[in-house]
Structure 1
Amino acid sequence: MSAAPNLHHMQVPGLTQDDRPSVLETVGDTGLSGEFITDLLLKVLYIQGARSGLQVMEVVRLPFQFVDDRLLDLQQRRMVEVRGTSGLSRAGYIFDLTGAGRDRARDALTANQYVGPAPVPLDQYRAWTLKQSITNARVTRDMVREGFRALVLEDAMLEMLGPAINSAKSLFLYGAPGNGKSFISETIAGLLGGALYIPFAIEVDGQILQLFDPVYHHPIRHEPESISRGHDPGEWLKPIEDHDRRFIKVERPVVMVGGELTLDQLDLQYDPFTKMYQAPFQLKSNGGVLILDDFGRQRTPPRDLLNRWIVPLEKRIDFLSLHTGGKFPVPFDTLLIFATNLAPADLVEEAFLRRIHYKIHVLGPDPEEYREIFRRCCQDRDIAYQEAAVQHIYARYYGQMSIQPRACHPRDILDHLLDISRFLEVEHRLSTELLDRACQSYFLDDSTAAGS
């Protein structure tokens, strides 16, 4: 199977100038109390040491006026003092904690050890997630054909995939291993494209939930850097940001989990040392795609996983639990894709599978499709294609050894052939000798194993 297509040039639904969190104008717009912000600033200075006003602002990602007002208040309360200056304005003042400030910071750290961008209250996160919902993303027939051009798929398959993607609900891909289920899932994620804004962290009843994860959230680097401004005191009073900087613009997230998934990973992960929460996979995938690969091979039974997702799949709302026992609703705004090579009937009964909206059987290639995949793989590897090579593989291995052709076989066989030809220091070509050596090191010969 050939490489994934480059989808960046395609026209996909994106954010307009107005589809961004508005620049904060008052402290009230943050949804946080003044004391919450004060504690955050104290923790920054306690953990990072003396910092300029600019540096503190860059950590908490709030307008400088908000930060400076709190720092001035802390100076008057003798919790913060100025140790020097690196510029003409208060943005260049070097702030440090006094003894009283250190005591207050330690008290704040006992509640949680979060130091970073000011969090976004849960209600603001909910509202913003719904505004940029994945249900607003759309693909057309032409977009689907272009997006899957690197795969050899029947038109009937593409005609089913398109509506499933537009549903933004759930999709069940099943079939024998090696026929491209995982690759189809990843291509769907790339096909949707676009970008969205997510908060670095969420505040829930005074608790901090960290959402941004660089593994799944890839920033789009276009934000103005306030650090590049000059030292004119007036400049620091002018908001130059084009959005609320507690949010970061990222590519549409794609989260893939496999056999390592456990049921407890679908709820908040509480760290008793930092007293903070990590968001579960489905929350990190909001606005994007969540792929559950190798469904049925998790340590958690498939029935239990589907039970966990019955309400989210139907209502598009999930419920998470705090370690204190409280529960709260969050949007379940993701295209959930299940991929499995197990028989659906062996996983769960039909009543459970009805909860999954679209089911698509990914079949192995017929001879014509196989030849096309083989030809493309040869082209990608600068190997001259020969029809006789495919006929030899079908006769010698698929025929005599009763092996079922898979879509991944051409890629893997040719990769083996390249490895062998490099080792032998011979030309990369589809000779019978190289093909046999490649296939013999790739396919399992059960008859030989039985004889030994």
Structure 2
Amino acid sequence: MSLNTGLDFEKVRGLLQERDAREETGAQIPAPVLPDFPSMPNSVEETGLSFSFLCDLAMKTLLAQGQITGGYIADFLRVPYQNVLENVLRFLRDDGQVEIKKGAGYDETTWELALTNKGMVTANSIMDREGYIGPAPVPLATYNRQIEEHPAIWESVTEELLRSSVDDLVVSSRTLAALGPAFNSGHSMFLYGNAGNGKTLLSERLSQSLRGGFLLPFAVEAGGQVIRIFDAVYHEVIQDPQEVRRIKTEEGEKAPRVDERWIVASRPFIITGGELTLDKLELNFDPKLRYYIAPLQMKANGGILMIDDFGRQQMSPRDLLNRWIVPLEKRYDFHNLVSGLQIQVPFEVFIIFSTNLAPKDLVEEAFLRRIRYKIEIGDPPEEDFREIFRRCCSNMNIPFQPEMLEYLVEEHYHKVQRGFRSVHPRDLLSQIKDISGYRGEPPTLTKDLIDTAVATYFVDLG
């Protein structure tokens, strides 16, 4: 049972070849392209999970899927059939929980299995207390060790890499020189300045300078409970070993024996804004699903978490910073399960706080000291504004006319003492396209269209 990831397998092959070439030649690359997968577990003990946990997971799978083969269950749980799942299924058959519905020959993976009446009762009882069905989790300790031993290599973020990530944007050397060391710190950064000057866009672009991927499990197990970590919204899959095995099998090649509970994902960049509440930073036990969903910072491990519109959340900035004082300094976080068990997880997250508000109006200086870098993303100078406008015209297929840009700047900025914002050219030109489309005309730069766009875009706040 493979994950539908939409992988580009040619890209995967290319990355694998690049890694192999690096190993053969000893070439030095700043950051690993693809990490090595853990070895395939050869016994129940090597999975790190208890025998009873795997029995429960297999029974829940049969309850949800109905009559299926042992091989299907192995693929669905992402554990090997030999020496692991075969022992689980034999025990369940001997215990009268599972029966063979259809099967011939010695290949047990092809036998079709189903729950007995006794098994249905047992499986429903299991579901009532723990409802996770999916790839087998890895132990929390194994996950912690993997994250701690393979953090993002922030120090490899060079000026050249940063410039290449924003080469189509207009960014001053001064701004880039401030952002570079902040990213290299790998800890925390506070961005402030007027809205519309690209704080979010810059952060997202700069995050792309993080090379390679990292190993991520679908879920972890702690105290018999499951915490779902993988989130397709935030985690882009680079390599899925189950898909690689399928391809190699189809091509008649031998697949590597690796632990398929892990995938390689690109390092996440997660943005949350005014909707953030303190409870989203804690383990969330879903009463309907009956398992835990990892909080945002745990999903962001190995990557970046951006708190956009900082200061506009439902909690106070002080409460938010208080929640993260220990994680920001110690690089680990604590969470409580409903059972009362407290667990410790790594906090290998680069936190970006972004706000349009004045820093002095948010928190005291003592709190800001805990955030390593404070960087203002200011209004663009007029020269940069003009360059942004020219580029936007090109990108939006609107013929650029220097005299019309001069008219816009003089009439609607200089005369009214309006400040430049990096987002204004894109937005005003979008307005012009909308107005032109409504009139049935091709988008062009005219005084009338500029005046109309300005009138419907800017608001006089008195």
Scaled by the length of structure 2, what TM-score is found?
0.89
CA–CA distance in 2 between the matches of 1:256 and 1:303? 20
Question: Quick one: higher RCO (CA 8 Å, sep 6+), 1 or 2?
Answer: 1
- What does residue 121 of structure 1 align with? 139
CA 1:187–1:242: 2 relative to 1, 3 Å: farther
Q: How does 1:124-143 map to 2 (within 5 A)?
A: 124-135=142-153, 138-143=156-161
- What does residue 50 of structure 2 align with? 33
- What does residue 234 of structure 2 align with? 216
Amino acid at match of 2:367: F
Select 2:78's aligned residue among 25, 40, 61.
61
Secondary structure of the residue aligned to 2:232 is coil
Q: Does the Cα contact within 8 Å between 2:249 and 2:255 map onto a contact in 1? A: no
CA–CA distance in 2 between the matches of 1:242 and 1:98? 33
- What does residue 199 of structure 2 align with? 181
Map Cα deviations across residues 380-417 of structure 1 (whole Å, 9 max, x no partner): 11222222222212221112333211000000011111
CA–CA distance in 2 between the matches of 1:241 and 1:224? 10
- What does residue 124 of structure 2 align with? 106
Q: CA deviation at 1:229?
A: 8.9
- What does residue 354 of structure 1 align with? 369
Amino acid at match of 1:164: A
CA–CA distance in 1 between the matches of 2:287 and 2:458? 49
CA–CA distance in 2 between the matches of 1:61 and 1:131? 24
- What does residue 285 of structure 1 align with? 300
CA 1:265–1:379: 2 relative to 1, 3 Å: same
- What does residue 59 of structure 2 align with? 42
CA 1:216–1:396: 2 relative to 1, 3 Å: same
Map Cα deviations across residues 309-339 of structure 1 (whole Å, 9 max, x no partner): 1111111111111123332210001111111
CA 1:88–1:116: 2 relative to 1, 3 Å: same
- What does residue 309 of structure 1 align with? 324
| Higher mean C-alpha displacement, 110-119 vs 97-106 | 97-106
Q: Does the Cα contact within 8 Å between 1:13 and 1:137 map onto a contact in 2? A: no
Q: CA deviation at 1:16?
A: 4.1
- What does residue 3 of structure 1 align with? none
RMSD of aligned alpha carbons: 2.4
CA–CA distance in 1 between the matches of 2:351 and 2:105? 51
CA 1:172–1:228: 2 relative to 1, 3 Å: closer
- What does residue 345 of structure 1 align with? 360
Q: Does the Cα contact within 8 Å between 2:271 and 2:306 map onto a contact in 1? A: yes
| Higher mean C-alpha displacement, 276-285 vs 75-84 | 75-84
CA 1:31–1:446: 2 relative to 1, 3 Å: closer
Amino acid at match of 1:348: V
Select 1:244's aligned residue among 259, 265, 282.
259
| Higher mean C-alpha displacement, 385-394 vs 177-186 | 385-394
Secondary structure of the residue aligned to 2:324 is helix
CA–CA distance in 2 between the matches of 1:230 and 1:446? 66
CA–CA distance in 2 between the matches of 1:75 and 1:228? 32
Secondary structure of the residue aligned to 1:337 is strand
Amino acid at match of 1:192: L
Q: CA deviation at 1:242?
A: 4.6
Map Cα deviations across residues 50-92 of structure 1 (whole Å, 9 max, x no partner): 1101211121110111111211222222221110138862111
| Higher mean C-alpha displacement, 272-281 vs 350-359 | 272-281
CA–CA distance in 1 between the matches of 2:102 and 2:256? 27
Map Cα deviations across residues 105-134 of structure 1 (whole Å, 9 max, x no partner): 233223301111111111001011112212
Secondary structure of the residue aligned to 1:368 is helix
| Higher mean C-alpha displacement, 86-95 vs 330-339 | 86-95
Matched, 1:97 2:112: no
Amino acid at match of 1:297: R
Q: Does the Cα contact within 8 Å between 1:135 and 1:167 map onto a contact in 2? A: no
- What does residue 173 of structure 2 align with? 155
- What does residue 5 of structure 2 align with? none
CA 1:88–1:252: 2 relative to 1, 3 Å: same
- What does residue 199 of structure 1 align with? 217
CA 1:74–1:357: 2 relative to 1, 3 Å: same
Q: Which runs of 5+ in 1 are unaligned?
A: 1-7, 448-452
| Higher mean C-alpha displacement, 343-352 vs 179-188 | 179-188
Matched, 1:328 2:343: yes
> How many pairs are equivalent?
434
Q: How does 1:371-450 map to 2 (within 5 A)?
A: 371-446=386-461
CA 1:400–1:344: 2 relative to 1, 3 Å: same
Q: Does the Cα contact within 8 Å between 1:54 and 1:92 map onto a contact in 2? A: yes
Secondary structure of the residue aligned to 2:459 is coil
Select 1:144's aligned residue among 131, 148, 162.
162
Amino acid at match of 1:122: L
Q: Does the Cα contact within 8 Å between 1:386 and 1:430 map onto a contact in 2? A: yes
CA–CA distance in 1 between the matches of 2:372 and 2:452? 45
Q: Which runs of 5+ in 2 are unaligned?
A: 1-10, 16-28
Secondary structure of the residue aligned to 1:260 is coil
CA–CA distance in 2 between the matches of 1:87 and 1:219? 37
Select 1:167's aligned residue among 185, 198, 204.
185
CA–CA distance in 2 between the matches of 1:15 and 1:409? 38
Q: Does the Cα contact within 8 Å between 1:224 and 1:241 map onto a contact in 2? A: no
Secondary structure of the residue aligned to 1:429 is coil
CA–CA distance in 1 between the matches of 2:154 and 2:408? 46
Q: Does the Cα contact within 8 Å between 2:198 and 2:422 map onto a contact in 1? A: yes
| Higher mean C-alpha displacement, 84-93 vs 275-284 | 84-93
Q: CA deviation at 1:197?
A: 1.6
- What does residue 369 of structure 1 align with? 384
Secondary structure of the residue aligned to 1:441 is helix
CA 1:274–1:321: 2 relative to 1, 3 Å: same
Q: Does the Cα contact within 8 Å between 2:227 and 2:294 map onto a contact in 1? A: yes
Q: Does the Cα contact within 8 Å between 2:197 and 2:421 map onto a contact in 1? A: yes
CA 1:230–1:184: 2 relative to 1, 3 Å: closer
CA–CA distance in 2 between the matches of 1:175 and 1:264? 28
- What does residue 26 of structure 2 align with? none
CA–CA distance in 1 between the matches of 2:254 and 2:90? 19
